[in-house]
Chain A
Amino acid sequence: MVKRSHWSKSTVPVRPQTILTRSEVMRQLGAFSFVLPYLVAFALFLAYPMVYGIFISLHHWNPMVGAGGFVGLGQYALLFNFHDLATQTFWQSIGNTSLFVLISVPFLVAVPLILAYLIYLAPAKGLFRPVFFFPAILSATSVMAIWAWMLQTEGGPINGFLGLHVPWLVRQPWAWVSIDLVTVWWSIGFNLIILYAGMTQLAQTTFDAAAIDGAGLVRIFWSIIIPQLRNVLSVVLILSTIASFNLFAQPFLLTGGGPANSTLSISQQIYNQGFGLAHMGSATAMAFFMGLILAAVSFVQYTFVRQRGA
């Protein structure tokens, strides 16, 4: 006797091939029309610039007059020619930016997470949320101007208050401490709102049950909040990493990339190369290389967080 598969043709009803009726076509077109505006914007403002950017990176390119000669992957190869000063500065900026990512991302995730939990527990949530979000709506220039004044060595209010003479912006490691401090102050609002929203989605009954079992606020935070917020935390972690890799305004306006280029970021180096020195081909290659680093780091983070959660 021949065993018949449960999924054999004779038992599975096959949907007959049909010609779409006019109403179905109209319905599908209607659905497509909702996506169309985004598709147009995506094509114009993301896909086209990206393809054009690749084209630029394969040429000598002066932004004043356009394309020079085709150089293939020459601009990318130049990024590994360590005799070239621009390459040396580029790798120095990668080192600087990576250091910033390492020292900023933990704070950009941990501080808003703790604050979000405190707000979650606090009675006047409506008061605290806008207070902590407020710095995020300020422009980079105004935030940096205020902090540049507050962190001055001789006459700055922070040194005045502390009674110290800390060279916040002119010597290391203080320059990084200052940039990190300002970044956390300026941008925790976004992460805080995302994490707070995640907490509000968690089942209150879990907290109640844990409380009945004698869990305190710290135990609930470690054993319930953090594991259940894993997906939200991974998003916040990846977004913070990307934002930190794109560091520009803080060192540009607070330290000018100094002292001695030690806070020069990748974005600033790309900007200098493309707009200051008019080497747009190599600047674009640097930008794509930075994009590759970001994609790799995000992939590793995402995979790691997912595996831990599985």
Chain B
Amino acid sequence: MRITDGFRVLAGLTAVALLGGSTAWRSPAATHPVNISFWTSGSPNGVTQIVNQFNHVYRNTYHINFRAIPYSNETTVVNSALTAHRAPELMEESLTFAAPYAVEGLELPISPFLKMAGINPLADFPKPMWNLAALHGVHYVAPTDGLPTVLYWNKALFKAAGLNPNQPPRTQAQFVADAKKLSQPKKGIWGYVQEPAWPAPFLFPSLLGQFGGKEGNASTKKILFDSPAGISAVQFMYNCIYKWHISPANASGGESHNLFYAGKNAMMMTGAYDYAEAKAKLGKNLGFATLPVIGKKPQDFLGQNYWWVFKNPNLTPKAKRGIAMFMKFFYNHSIELAKAGVLPVWQPAFSKAAFRSIPGFSVQAAALQKGIMNPLIPGWGTAGSYLYNAIDSALLNKVSIPQALKKAAQQMEQTLNQPQA
């Protein structure tokens, strides 16, 4: 052996000894926190801060690997991860996406985690968000945030029409009467803009619920919206355009919002997701309230996010405890979500002054209590296009409302009951 070779061997051994020694010097707890992967397709605003705080507080025991996946591509990303056995332990998406995974037996029941965390779901979450999220009697998911359907109005237009800017309509009659006073078609100003398509996925279920109807039965996969309540809901939208003339005909997607921001649409009934932008555009002229009762009782559709734990044979009891701890930590730090403009669903937070002082949140918190959601049937989101095509056709005056809803119900039922292909 040459001298240089001997030197290389010695240097290598020294390096190995140093590296090995360096890990041995640290405490095992410090070097090996349990990693928990957590993905969301919802807004990462606020969540990132909570994750960072958790990772700091529990730095010696747990580490949350947080990843925000694109909302438009979530199914592809999550399904690819599942088939490659690289799915996250904890997943947050909207409720519709939870159903197929639960049906395929890929999710763990959530109640043991909530129990471990000391969370009482009946008291700590808004009742509709917990009660409507069971599949065949089992809860696989827990809510993380909500997005109710609400009423926006332009106070300046109300004032100009001789209406009280601080008194929004609370009934169908008031809504129509106010909208008639607000509409000046020759000036391009409308009391309300009913689009044939979007935001019908928020408004139609809200009105259907208000008239006492349901979209479907998750257990039997029976479609129920082709009912008198469903017809009344679409009839209201139709009348806004063709009977009362408070809305223009042929409005395209997004037009309701754009005209509202431009001061040419006085009222919008849509998801609370527009609040920040509407506030920025209208400032003190923005009015924001729960939906008026167009039907017989107050109800509003909830957009939302839920989380669940994917089944994973490598999930240790310690990791399960970590997930439960993170859930509790997340809910206890709900104010971070609220500050970021996301509505948390943690009942104990709603009474706190810090939460109530955030503009618009008290209205949304109240709306959560009357919330309804789509039935938990796999494929509902995609099959729902038949319903919205039907509403579209009815609002374009191409087909009668009962006929449109009946055909859509048949198509959806066939699609949702189709065997695996």
Contact = CB atoms under 8 A, between A and B. Distances in A.
A155 B258 contact: yes
A151 B193 CA distance: 16
A277 B379 CA distance: 5
Contact of B258 (A63, A85, A152): A152
Interface string A70-93: 000001001000001110000000
Nearest to B413: A85
Interface string A244-255: 000000000001
Interface string B190-213: 100100111000000000000000
A267 B139 CA distance: 35
B52 to A, nearest CB: 29
Given A258-B392, A259-B393, A279-B420, A86 B415 contact: yes
A104 interface: no
B385 A272 contact: yes
B292 interface: no
B106 A170 contact: no
A282 B418 CA distance: 12
A155 B262 contact: yes
A272 B420 CA distance: 14
Contacts of B196: 170, 258-259
A85 B413 CA distance: 10
Interface in A164-193: 165, 167-171
Contacts, number: 127
A149 B415 contact: no
Contact of A259 (B193, B254, B396, B418): B396
Interface stretch (B217-225, B244-252, B312-320): B244-252
Nearest to B78: A64
B414 A154 contact: no
A14 interface: no
Contacts of B411: 85
B421 A153 contact: no
B76 interface: yes
A278 interface: yes
B131 interface: no
A148 B254 CA distance: 8
B379 A155 contact: no
B100 A64 contact: yes
B273 interface: no
Contact of A155 (B101, B255, B382): B255
B393 A260 contact: yes
B254 A277 contact: no
Contacts of A155: 188, 255, 258-259, 262, 264
A282 B421 CA distance: 6
B83 A63 contact: yes
B371 interface: no
A63 B106 CA distance: 12
B414 A85 contact: yes
Contact of B381 (A86, A257, A276): A276
B261 to A, nearest CB: 10
Contacts of B388: 256
B6 to A, nearest CB: 37
A277 B389 CA distance: 17
Contacts of B418: 84-86, 277, 279
A154 B385 contact: no
B382 A272 contact: yes
B421 to A, nearest CB: 4
B378 interface: yes
Interface string A59-73: 010111110100000
A44 to B, nearest CB: 16
Nearest to B383: A277
A158 to B, nearest CB: 11
A168 B197 contact: no
Contacts of A149: 254, 258
Contact of B420 (A62, A171, A255, A257): A62
Contacts of B197: 170, 256, 258
Given A64-B100, A78-B421, A86-B415, A260 B389 contact: yes
Interface string A269-305: 0001001111101100000000000000000000000
Contacts of B75: 63, 275-276
Interface in A187-208: none
Given A62-B104, A275-B75, A276-B381, A170 B250 contact: yes
B251 A64 contact: no
A261 interface: yes
A140 to B, nearest CB: 11
A154 B188 contact: yes
A284 B188 CA distance: 48
A149 B256 CA distance: 11
Contacts of A86: 415, 418, 421
B255 A152 contact: yes
21 contacts: A64-B104, A64-B106, A78-B421, A85-B415, A85-B418, A86-B421, A153-B255, A154-B255, A154-B259, A155-B188, A155-B264, A170-B196, A170-B396, A171-B396, A256-B253, A256-B388, A258-B389, A260-B389, A261-B385, A278-B378, A279-B418
Smallest CB-CB A-B distances: 5 pairs: A276-B382, A167-B250, A282-B421, A279-B421, A169-B252
